[in-house]
Structure 1
């Protein structure tokens, strides 16, 4: 059975077909991020793959823990100095 270290030490090739419009877009984005096209594509694919897997994670909780979780979500936070300051501070895009 291979370990993650084994798979990382032996790069494999992935072939993908795309139109010139998509290729130009990827080339521009890679240049702007200071990466090679291959590194850029690999980073984007890795992030998208991780997101897809994380979307499938199930969190299991007892009925009591779930009820507590819902109660906390539905109850407003207690007023405190930090919350009051945040609520009274103008958003950066509203400052003019």
Structure 2
């Protein structure tokens, strides 16, 4: 997940065209809220949607059944896995 630097202050600066600002103000007024609240509510809903879509794993029924099968009955380690485990530093 990419990391983003976050300023400590609580302000964000946003450049918008006069037409876009007028549309946002109009939509905020229709919802009987102020511009900041309208933008935050809308942006946070979209952020939640984007994050959920990026983090969700959707499997077909067949693939879901296969994952469950592998969790319940994992395959025996192969030679490559055995070599990788042997190459790990010993635990202290």
Q: Could you state the TM-score of these two structures normalised by the residue count of structure 1?
A: 0.51
Distance 1:64 1:28, change over 3 A: closer
* Deviation for aligned residue 1:49: 0.5
Q: Could you state the TM-score of these two structures normalised by the residue count of structure 2?
A: 0.53
Which of the pair has the greater relative contact order for Cα pairs under 8 Å at 6+ separation? 2
Residue matched to 1:54: 52
- Count of aligned residue pairs for this structure pair: 58
Runs of 4+ that moved beyond 3 A: 60-64
- In structure 2, list runs of 5 or more residues that go unmatched: 1-7, 67-92
Task: Give the greater-gyration-radius structure (CA).
Answer: 2
Distance 1:18 1:54, change over 3 A: same
Distance 1:63 1:48, change over 3 A: closer
- In structure 1, list runs of 5 or more residues that go unmatched: 1-9, 67-96
- RMSD of aligned residue pairs (Cα, Å): 2.8
